[in-house]
Amino acid sequence: MPLLNPSKGWSSSTSRLLALYSFLFVAWSSILMGVLYFEVSSYLNKLTRHSMLQRQHLFAHMSGKQLDDALIASQAFEERSFDAYGLFDAQLNPLGGRIRQLPAELGLDGQVHELKRCLDADDPHLPRDSCDAVAIKVNDGRWLVLVRDNGSLFVVTRIILHALLWGLSLTILPGIAGWYLLRRRPLKRIRAVQASAELIVAGDLTRRLPLSARRDELDMLAAIVNVMLDRIERLMHEVKGVCDNIAHDLRTPLTRLRAQLYRIRQQSADDAPQAEALEQAIGETDTLMARFRGLLRISELEDRQRRAGFVDLDPHALLTELHDFYLPLAEDGDIRLELEQPAQLAALHGDRELLFEALSNLLGNAIKFTPEGGMVRLRAGQDGSGVHIAVEDSGPGIPEQEREAVLKRFYRSEEGHRHAGFGLGLSIVAAIVDLHGFRLEVGSSELGGAKMVLRCPMSGVR
């Protein structure tokens, strides 16, 4: 079963946790800055209104020339306190100042009003949009209108808002950069763990998950898994050793037993009553010895140290030799054996003798199960995924529900029981394929029978 690829983008837990933290941080910062902006704006608004009320009370106690001089001075030196003023007589006719008419929404009650639409005037310096305005009656009976453009407040609050937005952006950008950098390191370590795990799944029990010097949670988990792998490797070696010893130790007494049976058979007459029983006993002994040899062969193939002798080999020469080797056997069974391969094939990296043995087993099975007058095809090809070698036949094929079971030791299908064998041939093929890191696929052929495809990925070709 292939391992899952490391999560990418938002799928990884690290990315989601960092994104959640960044979202909460940005949301909290936005709320904090919004409250700060609201408080500062409210304070400035209250401050300017208070200043306007102070001016109102000051001018309300003046009259005549004193009021005119004070207004002119305020206009000249304190223009930021209020934007414009206007003097009107008791009948609200304009007497002085830039304001020549009262704002339509302004009440003559001495209270400060916030007007949505301030003045309709030709003077471009007079406020037209939102403004604060107040109309007061001074001691000499005239009306004084003070107007302050809210745009001056908006300028200040806009400066504050821009500063807050800059602060927020300077918070978000490092946060995004930190999120990207922080998620890269865990993913890099996960990929290293996955690379080691894939080798372990492939059968290399000597591999261990990598550990860093940080000794964090991932290292703790990797250390626990490594301890488990140590224990599993030790148990596997013990079980393998016991099985190998049993198979090896039994070969010697079985060999002696066969020799003794054969000697007794040679000393017996052909028509002796025990002759047939001796022949059957010798046959069963040969069967047991062949099975033990098969088991020892699989055990030998499962030793990963044999990979040290892998070399680059030419698949053309290997397939041609296979075809020439099995052609006489196919012709004896009235079976047509074809070889199809392109002019160019990438070199395979492996053990030539083992690959010859695996393909011989597949080709021999195809010829064995193909009836007279049938056809067996040995075909090779290459695509972007690597080199593939297929053995197809026009025999009975392998039922879909048995395609995984045929690779197990001692398994024989219903069709297989009609032919001689021990059910270890495909197990040896599977062990050779696994040793090389290749893949064996069992399927149906367009010829009507079975199709065994040996797929050699790009990592196994040169």
Highest mean pLDDT range out of 56-60, 104-108, 227-231?
227-231
Of the pLDDT bands very low, low, confident and very high (cuts 50, 70, 90), residue 80 is very low
Return the residue matching tokens 């002798």: 309
Least confident span in 296-300, 321-325, 445-449, 454-458: 296-300
Residues 6+ apart with CB under 8 A from 309: 351
pLDDT, residue 1, reads 45
Higher pLDDT, 42 or 129: 42
Fold of 217-302: Helix Hairpins (1.10.287)
pTM for the model? 0.47
- Between 261 and 374, name the one with better pLDDT: 374
| Whole-number pLDDT of residue 81 | 43
Task: Work out whether strand 386-393 and strand 450-457 pair parallel, antiparallel, or are unpaired.
Answer: antiparallel
Confidence of residue 18 (pLDDT cuts 50, 70, 90): low
14 against 190, higher pLDDT: 190
Residue 232 has pLDDT above 50, yes or no: yes
Mean pLDDT for 316-323 is 90
Q: How far apart are CA 108 and CA 131, in angstroms?
A: 16
For residue 330, pLDDT over 80 is answered with yes
How far is residue 320's CA from residue 279's CA, in Å, rounded to a whole number? 39
Q: Point out the least confidently predicted range of 12-16, 45-49, 260-264, 451-455.
A: 12-16
Q: Which residue has the higher pLDDT, 194 or 19?
A: 194
pLDDT of residue 292: 64
Q: Please write the tens of the pLDDT for every residue from 125-147.
A: 676 677 888 888 888 888 888 88
Most confident of the following: 48-52, 172-176, 268-272, 364-368: 364-368
What DSSP string describes 238-294?
HHHHHHHHHHHHHHHHHHHHHHHHHHHHHHS-TT-TTHHHHHHHHHHHHHHHHHHHH
pLDDT over threshold 70, residue 426: yes
CA distance 317 to 323: 10
Q: Which of 250-259, 351-360, 448-457 has the lowest mean pLDDT?
A: 250-259
217-302 and 309-460: same fold?
Answer: no
Name the residue ranges covered by the structural domains of the chain.
Answer: 1-196, 217-302, 309-460
Give the Cβ contact number of residue 217 at 10 Å.
Answer: 8
- Of 362 and 63, which is predicted with more confidence? 362
State percent of the chain over pLDDT 70.
76
Question: Under CATH, to which class is 309-460 assigned?
Answer: alpha beta
- Over residues 228-245, the mean pLDDT reads 75
- Higher-pLDDT residue of 254, 324: 324
The overall average pLDDT reported for the chain is 76
Distance CA 312, CA 235 (A): 34
Residue 220 clears pLDDT 80, i.e. is over it: yes
For 431, the token pair is 């062990």
Cα separation, 176 vs 151, in Å, equals: 36
Those residues with Cβ within 8 angstroms of residue 387's Cβ, 6 or more apart along the chain or in another chain? 315, 345, 346, 348, 380, 381, 455, 456, 461
Mutual orientation of helices 151-201 and 217-267 as an angle, nearest 10°? Answer: 20
